[in-house]
Amino acid sequence: DAKTTQPPSMDCAEGRAANLPCNHSTISGNEYVYWYRQIHSQGPQYIIHGLKNNETNEMASLIITEDRKSSTLILPHATLRDTAVYYCIVRVARMDSNYQLIWGAGTKLIIKP
Amino acid sequence: KAGVTQTPRYLIKTRGQQVTLSCSPISGHRSVSWYQQTPGQGLQFLFEYFSETQRNKGNFPGRFSGRQFSNSRSEMNVSTLELGDSALYLCASSLRTSGSSVGELFFGEGSRLTVL
């Protein structure tokens, strides 16, 4: 029951903006989009999340299309330490009033000097 | 503030054995969730505990079980190990309160289980 589709890998030059796309065409109106990243040999790290509006924090910006069928995570000035697997995730509401994060396969982002 | 601590970090077991993994959440976090990560299946949700009660469960067989103690520490157990259980098992804690948003998950570094 994959809810998100991401490119398997991307490259970005150090200092440039990294734009990571995610397709979630079957998302429902009350389902949030979350982004996490996982640096090699570490647990995933939260980046940002949103519902309808664009969001920005100290790490990144999240741009969600008006129809909510896709989103883009933007790392404004990528550094070598941003090399990681980036996961686009949908938070799904369940019948028992609980919720669950459905993880995609992730995009391996490689920042090149 | 200490992060999420998982023990052991690495372990090797043989088929048919059972294993118990431990997770200590960030102080003040009452929600603990467990994930299995494998190269083929990616990150898959196992279960979530909040206030010593299982609140959410993924699609794993009954060999996978867990519990949470009154101090929010959690353990997961896998019985009758199979080769396919080899994986990185990740624990995450959050400030989630009953019925509210999932909140930010803070992950530990995981316990890497190898089944021979």
A94: closest chain B residue by CA: B56
Report the gap between the CA of B102 and the closest CA in chain A (Å). 7
Condensed to tens digits (0 to 9), the pLDDT of residues A32-53 reads: 899 999 998 789 999 999 998 8
Residues of B in contact with A104 (CB under 8 A): 42
Burial B61-76 (b: 16+ CB within 10 A, else e): eeebbbebeeebebbb
- State the Cα–Cα distance between residues A111 and B40, nearest whole angstrom: 24
Name the E strands within chain B: 5-7, 10-13, 19-24, 31-38, 42-50, 53-57, 64-68, 74-78, 87-94, 106-107, 111-115
Q: Contact B4/B21 with Cβ under 8 angstroms?
A: no
pLDDT at residue A69, as a whole number = 92
B107 and A45 in contact by Cβ < 8 A? yes
Task: Indicate if the pLDDT at residue A95 is higher than 70.
Answer: no
Could you give the percent of chain A with pLDDT greater than 90? Answer: 71
> Which of A87, A91, A97 shows the shortest C-beta gap to B102?
A91
Residue B99 per-residue DSSP state: T
pLDDT at residue B97, as a whole number = 62
In a 3-state reduction of DSSP, which class is residue A81? helix
With cut-offs at 50, 70 and 90, classify the pLDDT of residue A66: very high
What is the overall mean pLDDT for chain A?
91
Give the pLDDT mean for B91-100.
74
Residues of A in contact with B108 (CB under 8 A): 43
- Residue type, position B47, single letter: F
Task: Indicate if the pLDDT at residue A104 is higher than 80.
Answer: yes
- State the Cα–Cα distance between residues B61 and A46, nearest whole angstrom: 28
A104 vs A75 pLDDT, higher one: A75
**Chains A, B: CB pairs < 8 Å:** 43
- State the Cα–Cα distance between residues B7 and B22, nearest whole angstrom: 5
Condensed to tens digits (0 to 9), the pLDDT of residues B18-33 reads: 999 999 999 999 899 9
pLDDT at residue A18, as a whole number = 97
What is the overall mean pLDDT for chain B?
91
pLDDT at residue A40, as a whole number = 87
Condensed to tens digits (0 to 9), the pLDDT of residues B69-83 reads: 999 999 999 999 999
B43: closest chain A residue by CA: A103
Give the pLDDT mean for B35-53.
90
pLDDT at residue B101, as a whole number = 53
